[in-house]
Structure 1
Amino acid sequence: MTIFLLFASLFALMLLRVPIAVALGLSSLGYILIEGLPAVVLPHNMIGGMDSFPLLAVPFFILAGALMNSAGITSRIFDFARSIVGWMHGGLGHVNIGASIIFAGMSGAAVADAGGLGAIEIRAMRDSGYDDDFSVGVTAASSTIGPIIPPSLPLVIFGVMASVSIGELFVAGIVPGLLMALSLMVMVWFYSRRRNYPRDTEFRLGNVWSTFKRAFLPLMTPVIIVGGIVSGAFTPTEAAVCAAAYAMCLGLFVYGTLNAKRLATAAMETIEMTASILLIVGAASVFAWILTSNQAAALFAKGLLSLTENKYLILLLITLVVLVVGLFMETIAAISILVPVLLPVTQQIGVDPVHLGIIVILNLMIGLLTPPVGMVLFVLSKVSNVPFERCVKATVPFLVPLVGVLLLLTFVPSLTLYLPEVLYRQ
Structure 2
Amino acid sequence: MLLLIGSFLFLLILGTPVAVSMAVASLAYLVIYGVAPDIIAAQRMIAGVESFPLIAVPFFILAGNLMNIAGVTGRIYKFALSLVGWMKGGLAQVNIIGSVVFSGMSGTALADAAGIGTIEIKAMKDHGYPVEAAVGVTAASATLGPIFPPSLPFVIYGMMANASIGALFMAGIVPGVVMAILMMLTVYIFAKRKGWGSDTPFELKQLLAASLEVVIVLAFPVAIYLMILAGMSVNVAVLIGLAVLVALDWYFDFSAVMALMTPVLLIGGMTMGWFTPTEAAVAAVLWSLFLGLVRYRTMTVRTLAKASFDTIETTASVLFIVTAASIFAWLLTVSQAAQLFSDFMFGLTDNWWTFLIIVNILLLVVGAFLDTIAAISILVPILMPVAARYGIDPVHLGVVITLNLMIGLLTPPVGMVLFVLARISKLSVEKTTLAILPWMIPLFLALGLITFIPAITMWLPTQLGLIR
TM-score, normalization by structure 2? 0.89
Q: What displacement does 1:203 show?
A: 3.5
Asked if 2 retains the 8 angstrom alpha-carbon contact of 1:110 and 1:145, the reply is yes
* Matched ranges for 1:15-414 at <5 A: 15-36=13-34, 37-208=36-207, 210=209, 212=213, 213-414=254-455
- The 3-state SS of whatever aligns with 1:105 is helix
State the AA in 2 paired with 1:313: T
Which is greater in Rg? 2
Partner SS state of residue 464, structure 2: helix
Q: Which amino acid aligns with 2:21?
A: A
**What residue identity is the alignment partner of 2:393?**
D
Q: CA deviation at 1:413?
A: 0.4
Q: Percent identity?
A: 53
Q: Which residue of 1 aligns with 2:229?
A: none
Q: Which stretch of structure 1 is more off in the superposition, 350-359 or 197-206?
A: 197-206
Mapped partners of 2:129, 2:31: distance in 1: 56
Distance in 1 between residues matched to 2:257 and 2:207, nearest whole Å: 11
Which amino acid letter does the alignment assign opposite residue 162 of structure 1? Answer: A
Residue identity matched to 1:388 = V
- Following superposition, the deviation at residue 265 of structure 1 comes to 0.8
2:39 aligned partner, one-letter code: V
Determine the C-alpha separation between the residues in 1 that align with 2:179 and 2:258.
26
Compare 267-276 and 41-50 and name the one that shifted more.
Answer: 41-50
User: 1:204: Cα distance to partner?
Assistant: 2.9
Letter in 1 for 2:9: F
1:11 corresponds to which residue? 9
Q: What's the offset of the Cα at 1:320? A: 1.0
Unaligned runs of 5+ in 1: none
Is contact 1:80-1:208 (8 Å) kept?
no
Residue 202 of structure 1 and its aligned partner are, at CA, apart by 2.9
Aligned partner letter, 2:130: D
Give the whole-Å Cα distance in 1 for the aligned partners of 2:296 and 2:451: 43
Aligned counterparts of 1:225 and 1:275: Cα–Cα separation in 2: 25
Distance in 1 (alpha carbons) for counterparts of 2:117 and 2:166: 28
2:235 equivalent in structure 1: none
Q: Hey, what's the Cα distance between the residues in 2 that align with 1:70 and 1:210?
A: 25
- Residues 413-424 of structure 1: pairs in structure 2 closer than 5 A: 413-424=454-465
By how many angstroms is 1:210 displaced? 4.9
* C-alpha contact 1:64 1:247 (8 A) present in aligned 2: yes
The offset of 1:373, in angstroms, is 0.6
Distance 2:25 2:384 in 1: 23
The one-letter code matched in structure 2 to 1:11 is: L
Could you tell me the TM-score, scaled by structure 1's length? 0.98
Note if contact 1:87-1:201 (Cα within 8 Å) is conserved in structure 2.
yes
Alpha-carbon displacement from aligned partner over 1:361-395 (angstroms, at most 9, x marks no partner): 00000000100111001111112211111111100
For residues 73 and 42 of structure 1, the distance between their equivalents in structure 2, rounded to whole angstroms, comes to 44
Hey, what's the Cα distance between the residues in 2 that align with 1:412 and 1:298?
Answer: 27
Deviation string, structure 1 residues 405-425 (Cα, Å, up to 9, x no partner): 111111110111000110024
> Which residue type is aligned with residue 276 of structure 1?
S
Whether the 8 Å contact between 1:106 and 1:221 is mirrored in structure 2 is yes
How many angstroms apart in 2 are the aligned matches of 1:101 and 1:258? 24
Distance 1:203 1:263 in 2: 39
| Inter-partner Cα distance in structure 2 for 1:281 and 1:44 | 14
CA contact (8 A) 1:84 1:203 kept: no
Q: What SS does the aligned partner of 2:115 have?
A: helix
Once the two structures are TM-superposed, the CA of residue 209 in structure 1 deviates from its matched residue by 5.3
Deviations along 1:318-354, one digit per CA (max 9) or x if unpaired, are 1111111111100000000111000000100110110
SS of 1:398's partner is helix
Amino acid at match of 1:421: T
Matches of 2:306 and 2:375 in 1, distance apart?
Answer: 28
Number of matched pairs: 424
Q: Deviations over 1:272-300 (max 9, x none)?
A: 11111111011001010001112211110
Q: What secondary structure is seen at the aligned counterpart in 2 of 1:40?
A: helix
Q: Which amino acid aligns with 2:377?
A: S
* Higher alpha-carbon deviation: 265-274 or 209-218: 209-218
Offset of residue 17 of structure 1:
1.6
C-alpha displacement of 1:214 = 2.2
Taking the aligned partners of 2:90 and 2:255, their CA distance within structure 1 comes to 21
Take 1:4 and 1:346, find their aligned partners in 2: how far apart are those partners?
Answer: 23
The letter for the 2-side match of 1:246 is: W
Looking at structure 1, the residues matched to 260 and 349 of structure 2 have their Cα atoms a distance apart, in angstroms, of 47
Residue type matched to 2:388 in 1? Answer: Q
Distance 1:249 1:17 in 2: 42
- Unmatched runs of 5 consecutive residues or more in structure 2: 214-253
**1: distance between equivalents of 2:327 and 2:178?**
36
